[in-house]
């Protein structure tokens, strides 16, 4: 039964969460002013990786049949290999913040899941900037099969796909980073799960050889399908 004491405690937790969010925002702003490079480490890493991938696949042709295998390779590079350096950066960032956050959770007895969801909402600008910098080089340096009248739609779709993909794996990375004391263990575990998702996406093995349940819950299956759909059907 929900008592007045439970209501008071719940209100106290919400207030503590809001206070921590405000303090965290002030701290992030102060860090950005004092050390902007460290604050932009995550989006900067995404930009560098994106440029490397874009220049590697810069010769992609608009011919659907000729460039089919190359476009699948490009999709794998964007949704799998490109995420590994970024995941490492996220685990290192959490490692620096973890002690303060654990002290806060211990004092307020707030659920870790609720806190992670709150943190993701606070980190929305960072994720949006990261997704944008990760996407822009692909749009500028690699040709798509879309007609000129549909280019803007393709650009918006690509950004949404990458943003959703990064948002999901950032949540998973942060969850493992809080779960394990070692940042290395958190990084390896996240990459292992990322690899399993990739291997069960239907890009490595034909979907007919994969269990339908496994295929349906693979994040890479849905993002890679959306990523390739415009090129092969456009």
pLDDT digits over 28-76, tens only?
A: 445 545 555 666 899 999 999 999 999 998 877 666 555 677 888 888 9
Cβ 157 vs Cβ 226: under 8 Å: yes
- Per-residue pLDDT tens, the chain, 234 aa: give them: 444 434 434 444 455 455 545 445 445 445 545 555 666 899 999 999 999 999 998 877 666 555 677 888 888 999 999 999 999 999 998 888 887 777 777 777 777 777 777 777 888 888 999 999 999 998 888 876 666 667 788 788 889 999 999 999 999 999 899 889 899 999 999 999 999 999 888 877 777 677 777 777 888 888 888 888 756 555
Q: Name the burial class of residue 65, with classes exposed (0-12), middle (13-18) and buried (19+) by CB atoms within 10 angstroms of its CB.
A: exposed
- CA 157 – CA 22 distance, rounded (Å): 33
d(CA 128, CA 140): 18
Please count the other Cβ atoms lying within 10 Å of the Cβ belonging to residue 54: 20
- H or E segment at 10? helix 4-34
CB 183, CB 94: distance < 8 Å: yes
Which tokens hold the place of 78? 């964007």
Question: Residue 151 corresponds to which tokens in the numbers above?
Answer: 């280019």
So where are the chain's domains? 1-36, 40-233
Could you tell me the end-to-end alpha-carbon distance of the chain, in angstroms, rounded to an integer? 56
Q: Are 176 and 186 in contact (CB under 8 A)?
A: yes
pTM: 0.79
Distance, in Å, from the CA atom of 76 to the CA atom of 204, rounded to the nearest integer, reads 10
CA distances from 71 to 89, 101, 144, 153, 193 (A): 27, 42, 10, 19, 24
Give the whole-angstrom CA distance, residue 184 versus residue 154.
37
- What's the pLDDT score for residue 37? 64
């Amino acid at each position: 039964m929900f008592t007045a004491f439970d209501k008071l405690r719940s209100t106290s937790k919400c207030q503590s969460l809001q206070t921590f969010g405000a303090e965290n925002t002030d701290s992030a702003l102060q860090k950005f002013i004092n050390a902007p490079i460290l604050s932009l480490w995550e989006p900067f890493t995404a930009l560098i990786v994106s440029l490397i991938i874009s220049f590697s696949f810069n010769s992609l042709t608009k011919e659907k049949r000729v460039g089919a295998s190359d476009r699948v390779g490009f999709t794998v590079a964007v949704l799998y290999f490109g995420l590994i350096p970024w995941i490492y950066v996220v685990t290192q960032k959490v490692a620096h913040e973890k002690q303060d956050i654990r002290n806060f959770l211990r004092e307020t007895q707030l659920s870790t899941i609720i806190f992670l969801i709150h943190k993701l909402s606070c980190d929305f600008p960072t994720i949006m900037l990261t997704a944008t910098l990760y996407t822009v080089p692909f749009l500028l340096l690699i040709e798509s099969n879309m007609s000129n009248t549909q280019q803007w739609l393709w650009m918006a779709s690509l950004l949404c796909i990458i943003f959703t993909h990064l948002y999901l794996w950032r949540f998973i990375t942060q969850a493992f980073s809080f779960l394990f004391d070692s940042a290395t263990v958190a990084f390896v575990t996240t990459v292992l799960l990322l690899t399993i998702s990739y291997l069960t996406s239907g890009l490595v093995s034909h979907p007919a050889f994969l269990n339908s349940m496994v295929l349906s819950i693979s994040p890479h299956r849905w993002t890679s399908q959306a990523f390739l759909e415009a090129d092969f059907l456009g």
